[in-house]
Amino acid sequence: MTSAAADVRVSSEAGRLTVAIAGDLALDSISAVEQALRAPLAASPKSIALEMSGVRRLDASGVAVAVKLHRAARSLGVPFEVLGIEGDRKLLVDLALRGQDPQPAAPRLGFVREVGIAAAGIGEMGLDLLRFCGEVSVIALQIIRRPNLLRWHDTLSAMARHGTDAVPVVGLLGFLIGAIIAFQTFDPMARYGATLQVADVVAVSVVRELGPLITAIILAGRSGSAFAAEIGTMKVTQELDALRTFGIDPVRFLVIPRMLATLIVTPMLAVYASILGVAGGYLVLGPKGFTPMQYMIEARDALTVGGFLQGLVKAAVFAVLVSGIGCLAGMRTGQGPGAVGLSTTRAVVAGIVAIILADSVLGSFFYTLGI
């Protein structure tokens, strides 16, 4: 590739700046030309002319010189003309100059306005959340009155996808959590000679707290993200619009089956995680000489119906939160390639935050009630 530099001659006569370029005006010579123009343009000429009759080779980057001079002339409020070009070259330059007038910079927002806009954005999000909750509640009531409004098939398949398919991972984590608690508590308890009571600790913490919590966190990662991605993709591909123009409410069609499926399967998964968690505790006590029967009886005596119900209620609340947040994140998906990814991230992060917040509220509630 030849990289002959362009020959730039700048003359200034009675305030008229004439830039005559000869040689190659292309990608490889543009930077030298722009360098040569810097000082003459800073002198605020009264008019600018670009003489291009000596240009041997002009490519689409070379046109940038004309654009630069045009914009400089516009911002100085002086006339600009291009001389010595015709035919395709003129077309190329004319096309590039179209719409190149410098746009007035957007006025900078004051701090108060920026805070106001941010607050309005948060308010809108709050309204969206409120509207969503209202819509879900109204449609849920309609379905209770007319169960045939529910898309049973979709609900069952969501139960399979987000319930049955989650059984291995929920079971594994539940089992390991039980074992970890037993590991961590065995030595301190042994100091007081209460080794068998490790079963109590495992049973109470897993059934009341960690079983539902682990299940919900897996649910947020597996299902909340999936709901946001599925519904978000449908929004991007206008499938949600298509549903609305058919007169089908996307909340009834997409959200309710997913929320109901999650609400049904999560407490079941939480119970399953708790059972395996208690079993996991025996991994530590078994080698210490305790029989399975001793361990089971101790764990059973530690548990109460209230504690068990507490776990179930927590799991149900977590299910509603995670699935609702996932679906809402999907429905609020914006446009563009990154929008679905963003919604998915929001669904998982907001889901987990909501779970922990709800857990602390429910925990203190049940504690106050003495359950």
Partner 1 sequence: MPAAIATTPATEGRKVAIALRGVSIGYGTRAIIEGIDLDIYEGEILFIGGGSGCGKTTLLSSLNTLRPPLSGSIRIDGIEIAGASEDTLQEVRRRFGMMYQLGALFGGMTLLENVRLPLEEFTRLPREAMEDIARAKLGLVGLGAHAEKKPSEISGGMQKRAAIARALALDPPIIFLDEPSAGLDPVTSADLDALLVALNHMLGTTFVVISHELASILSIGHRFAMLDGARKRMVALGPPAELRDHSEDAWVRRFLSRTASGESS
Residues near partner 1 (CB under 8 A) are 91, 94-95, 98, 233-234, 237-239, 241-242, 244-248
Residue closer to partner 1 by CB (options 70, 314) is 70
Least distance from C-beta 245 to partner 1, angstroms? 4
Q: In this structure, are residues 147 and 176 in contact, taking their beta carbons and an 8 Å threshold?
A: no
| Count of residues in the chain | 371
Residue closer to partner 1 by CB (options 107, 247) is 247
Cβ neighbors of 248 (< 8 A, separation 6 or more) are none
Least distance from C-beta 239 to partner 1, angstroms? 5
Residue 72 burial (10 A CB sphere; 0-12, 13-18, 19+): buried
DSSP, res 195: G
Residue closer to partner 1 by CB (options 22, 248) is 248
Residue closer to partner 1 by CB (options 234, 315) is 234
Cβ neighbors of 343 (< 8 A, separation 6 or more) are 228, 229, 232, 329, 330, 332, 333
Least distance from C-beta 252 to partner 1, angstroms? 10
Residue closer to partner 1 by CB (options 238, 360) is 238
- Axis crossing angle, helix 292-302 with helix 198-205, rounded to the nearest 10: 50
Least distance from C-beta 246 to partner 1, angstroms? 5
What kind and span of H or E run contains 16? strand 16-25
Residue 245 burial (10 A CB sphere; 0-12, 13-18, 19+): exposed
Residue closer to partner 1 by CB (options 77, 147) is 147
Cβ neighbors of 281 (< 8 A, separation 6 or more) are 178, 179, 181, 182, 198, 199, 202, 203, 206, 295, 299
Query: Around Cβ 351, how many Cβ atoms within 10 Å?
Result: 27
Residue closer to partner 1 by CB (options 2, 148) is 148
Tell me the C-alpha distance between 239 and 231, whole Å: 9
Least distance from C-beta 97 to partner 1, angstroms? 11
Pairing between β-strand 16-25 and β-strand 47-58 as defined by DSSP bridges: parallel
Residue closer to partner 1 by CB (options 183, 253) is 253
Least distance from C-beta 240 to partner 1, angstroms? 9
Q: In this structure, are residues 343 and 329 in contact, taking their beta carbons and an 8 Å threshold?
A: yes
Least distance from C-beta 219 to partner 1, angstroms? 21
Residue closer to partner 1 by CB (options 135, 359) is 135
Q: Which residues pair with 13 in a beta bridge?
A: 16
Least distance from C-beta 268 to partner 1, angstroms? 24
Residue closer to partner 1 by CB (options 99, 193) is 99
Tell me the C-alpha distance between 274 and 267, whole Å: 10
Least distance from C-beta 82 to partner 1, angstroms? 14
Pairing between β-strand 7-13 and β-strand 16-25 as defined by DSSP bridges: antiparallel
Two tokens, residue 58: 């002009």
Tokens 């096309």 locate to 95
Least distance from C-beta 72 to partner 1, angstroms? 24
Query: Around Cβ 22, how many Cβ atoms within 10 Å?
Result: 15
Q: In this structure, are residues 318 and 269 in contact, taking their beta carbons and an 8 Å threshold?
A: no
